[in-house]
A and B are shown apart, each in its own frame.
Chain A
Amino acid sequence: MTAKCAFAENTDCRAEAPQSVFSPWLKLIIGFFLIWALIFVVGSIAQLLPGAKHMARVIDEHGLRATAVYYTDFEEPAEASERIRDSLDYMPHAK
């Protein structure tokens, strides 16, 4: 019987730095620079896309965590579901 390693975690799969003419440390510095450029240069340019500025304002205004991966990671789903639950449980008459 066999089973695959989840996420292939074994020593054979561990990454090794590829060989090249650049020093590994220089490549690391270049990598960090590229990440910096992505955040500050591309991030700033992306704000010029239609709708992006409005979306950013909405996220700030509501204090949303747009990066949340699950409903417990931020407040909004709890607030929303509680408001909806109150609205359904204590629904005003003859609306």
Chain B
Amino acid sequence: MAETKSQPPAEPEVVVIESGKTTLKDLYKKEDWMAVWMGFILLIVGLLIYLPRPPEKAAEIPKYNATMKEEAAKAPFKTIEWHNASSAKRGVRATNQDFAKEIQNFLSAPSDWDTNPIDALYRSEETAKAMGAPFKEEADKTKAAADAALTKAKAAQAAAAAAGFKDAALNAAADKEINAWQKAKDAASKADTKFKVKPYNRVPYLIGLCIILAVFFGIGKAIMGTPFGQFVIGFPAVFFLAILAYMAETQALMKYWGFGFPLWAIVFGLLISNTIGTPKWIQPAVCTEFYIKTGLVLLGAEILFNKILAIGKPGIFIAWVCTPITLILTYWFGQKIIKMPSKTLNITISADMSVCGVSAAIATAAACRAKKEELTLAIGLSMVFTAICMVGQPAFAKLVGMPEILAGAWMGSTIDSTGAVAAAGAFLGQKALYVAATIKMIQNVLIGVTAFCVAVYWCAKVDCKPGTSVSWWEIWYRFPKFVIGFIIASIVFSIIDQSVGGDMSTVMIDHGVLRGFTRIAREWFFALAFTCIGLETNFREFGPYFKGGKPITLYVFGQSFQLGFTLLIGYIMFYIVFPEITAAI
């Protein structure tokens, strides 16, 4: 029996009795299994679309690697040719092909807008030109600056080469000029993007996407017993609210604060359900669990275990040692010290605070079967603290003169949201940005392990009568089956990633199947799920969770510990144990 005492007293118990038997019917009648199949279908479709169509330039990758190797052996700094080869390699993406761009157009969410919400859905040719025009001068200026910087870099490199790369002063001067050229090149590239604003009309694509998703999920629900027609009638309303959530995220002022579509989707859903009430005709399409579990199976494919090696051993220590210690300590603090009334809320907040915010909260909440209010509360807390940390942490790092790499590692591991981590890193500089974003990526991979461990722990320990143990069969009965799909997707894609090889995997898997297809679908599924959470939640249901301010105390304790602990480990790893890696970055 689930430990119902862990729930706040005012909360109505929501418990279903499951049969102790698993039958073959479960495979198509239970939502967990259906989410697994639907997720797998999309993953297979993604593989079939991308794997047979590698970009032509992929054949050039060995040549680029050979150039870098040769240049690295020649000079004690990264030469112009080294940078050109690295840059050319990064330009090879399966998603840059025409068919992939069309798929992305079809699945794309609304775009950025400032004062007129229509701009998020439609931008005419004239508007695009008018938007880009003010940046023409900047684009020309930065391009000229980049060309001038390249000329200087070439001269400095030639001087160093003339001395056989033996003169330390000439080498240092060349390194400095080449780095200056890289910065100028980046600035020119960004200015060019601002100048070349593209027109779009998202409306027909969104209508098409709505129809496809309605049919896709409608078939799944129909197999499980919900009439297809009822689902399809309600779905466009949920989809429309999800579009509104995306539009709120992309508004020019809101996008700076890290308040993403999950929060807005809940807000818009809550607004409907707590004013006019969720209409009956929409309710068949309000399927929080179905959308979220299907999205989580897709997310599983994005958990590629090879990524944990991205920055070498220091990254593994910071992301994979500090994070679980913080998670376990925070959960222990919640249970033993402040005595959180709900274990599921405790673990959801602990995971979202210590791992990586919203995505970890979703996976953990689903794995331990947290209530929708608990997930909402954890996400709300995470987003508020993310906004504070995103501005506060880089400001503190700058104030105390923290080295960029240490600051990047510290912020990458401690700021919840992945996007906010990159913003905080960029606040300090390019190196901080790269280290922060990479550490966060390694930490993101921890979601799979966290969700799996939480699911097992809940089945084997938490959902048991005190002092009793359960058999493996019983654990299997209770285990949230979609987690199996989530883990299988992660293992299969990690194997494919490994077998295809680092560079080709980046081109075909990361920048192909995932970013070009399943990632975008996954995001839509989460947007639909959060909209549904709002649509079936009453404001009053949040009351008991705020009693005594325990969730905030828990979050503040965990975050404070993580800030200090990660800074210490980051310093030890990057400056005492592995200084050569720090020097190479």
Contacts and interface: CB of A to CB of B under 8 A. Distances in A.
Nearest to A54: B427
Given A15-B274, A49-B391, A9 B17 contact: no
B289 interface: yes
Nearest to B75: A92
A21 interface: no
Given A65-B419, A92-B82, A15 B440 contact: no
- Chain A residues touching B, range: 35 or more
A90 B536 contact: no
B15 to A, nearest CB: 5
Interface in B212-264: 248-249, 251, 253-262
A7 B288 CA distance: 7
A69 B296 CA distance: 13
B181 to A, nearest CB: 15
Interface in A46-87: 46-47, 49-52, 54-56, 58-59, 61-74, 76-87
A16 B538 contact: yes
B511 interface: yes
A21 to B, nearest CB: 13
Contact of A62 (B190, B417, B438, B510): B190
Contacts of A66: 255-258, 390, 417, 419-420, 422-423
Interface string A4-28: 1111111111111110000011011
Nearest to B253: A43
Contacts of A88: 311-312, 581, 584-585
Interface residues of B, number: 124
Q: Which of B68, B259, B419 has the most CB of A within 10 A?
A: B419
A2 B1 contact: yes
A30 to B, nearest CB: 8
B326 interface: no
B147 interface: no
Nearest to B537: A15
B299 interface: yes
Contacts of A65: 255, 419
A52 to B, nearest CB: 6
B355 to A, nearest CB: 11
B523 interface: yes
B312 to A, nearest CB: 6
Nearest 3 CB-CB pairings of A with B: A68-B419, A43-B253, A67-B260
Given A27-B274, A64-B422, A92-B75, 19 more contacts: A1-B19, A3-B18, A6-B370, A7-B365, A7-B533, A13-B372, A15-B538, A61-B426, A67-B255, A67-B417, A69-B260, A71-B441, A73-B419, A82-B89, A82-B90, A84-B310, A84-B585, A89-B68, A93-B76
Interface of B: 1-2, 12, 14-20, 65, 68-69, 71-73, 75-79, 82, 86, 89-90, 115, 190, 193, 248-249, 251, 253-262, 267-268, 270-278, 283, 286-289, 292, 299, 302, 307, 310-312, 356-359, 365-366, 369-373, 375, 390-391, 394-395, 417-420, 422-423, 426-427, 433-438, 440-441, 444, 463, 474, 477-478, 480, 502, 506, 510-511, 514-515, 519, 523, 526, 532-533, 535-541, 581, 583-585
